[in-house]
Amino acid sequence: MATFGARYRAALDQRGPLCGGIDPHASLLAAWGLPDDASGLERFALTAVEALAPRLAVVKPQSAFFERFGSRGVAVLEQVIATAREAGALVLLDVKRGDIGSTVQAYADAYLDPASPLRADAITASPFLGFGSLQPLLGTAAKFDGGVFVLAQTSNPEGPQVQQARTEAGRTVAGDILDRIAAVNAGESPLGSVGAVVGATVESTGENFAAVNGPLLAPGIGTQGGTAADLRTVFGEALRNVLPSSSREILRAGPSVQALRDAADRTLESVRAILTQS
């Protein structure tokens, strides 16, 4: 199998730059007329997969919204991952795990090892116990051609307290994380397999995102206030590597499969227009 970086590049080139989030919020289940239980979760999630996975480059199930239903919810998540991959989408499992030592290795085994029913193409991870603490994830991802998207500069209002703090060398924590990702990806072609998560609404950061040489996940398009035009402001010359993500903005169009597809198509058209401008 090709590296995740290579699969990511091919998926964006073939299907376009959009990640569809699968976030079964209780409010969305209610809006679709579904019960807030495991049966409603299954209908919601598999409908979203049917609509989005055959046409989008990446789908991103948020693990927490499945885990809240216990073992039945995790079983649905296993279905979502398998079905979406069979439909040709890359699956980015949004788990934001971060720990140390054997615990991080256990997370890596759960989400990146082909022997696991929860194996995804890539996962999100938190580096705020130290970037080095993620090494078991990075090593397991490299072994099995998976990817890891590392939180760097998020758009939540609490984020700057940590991410904009300065290291002893004077670099922001976010900038230091980006530098470390770039070091892991150095020399990889067409892209490295370690990505960065940078909110679509963080405005201009002064960072050279092209130097990351890896995937750039940009959540926040739509309901969270981010627009396609914001992407150019944030990412500059790295636009070709950016994967905007939209969840509720698309999912609110359900429960019709066609309505979901139409909403995804509209979002894709808007971001493609920005990302392909010369």
Domain ranges for the chain:
4-275
pLDDT at 277: 67
What count of other Cβ atoms lies within 10 Å of the Cβ of residue 124?
24
Q: Does the bond joining 190 to the residue before it have cis omega, within 30 degrees of 0?
A: yes
What local confidence, expressed as pLDDT, does residue 222 receive? Answer: 61
The string over 202-238, giving b where at least 16 C-beta atoms fall within 10 Å of a residue's C-beta and e elsewhere, is: beebebebeebbbbbbbbbbbebebbbebbeebbeeb
Structural contact between residues 171 and 207, judged by C-beta atoms closer than 8 angstroms: no
Q: Quote the pLDDT of residue 226.
A: 66
Low-confidence ranges of the chain (pLDDT < 50): 278
Instruction: Enter the tokens of residue 82.
Output: 């398998």
CA end-to-end span of the chain: 33
The pLDDT assigned to 141 comes to 98
Q: Report the distance separating Cα 265 and Cα 276, nearest Å.
A: 16
Q: Are 172 and 166 in contact (CB under 8 A)?
A: yes
Under DSSP, is residue 170 helix (H, G, I), strand (E, B) or coil? coil
Fold (topology level) of 4-275: TIM Barrel (3.20.20)
Output the pTM of the full model.
0.96
Q: Which pLDDT does position 225 carry in this prediction?
A: 62
DSSP helix/strand/coil, 153: strand
Query: Whole-angstrom Cα distance, residue 205 to residue 201?
Result: 11
Catalytic residue among 55, 96, 232, 248: 96
Which tens digit of pLDDT belongs to each residue from 151-173? 999 988 899 899 999 999 999 99
Q: Give residue 271's pLDDT.
A: 86
> Which string of DSSP letters, residue by residue, matches 214-242?
S-EEEE-BSTTSB-HHHHHHHHGGGGGGE
60 labelled catalytic: no
For residue range 118-145, list pLDDT tens digits in order: 999 999 999 999 999 999 999 999 999 9
- For residue 200, what are the contacts with CB-CB under 8 A and spacing of at least 6? 155, 218, 219, 220, 221, 224, 226, 227, 230, 231, 234, 244
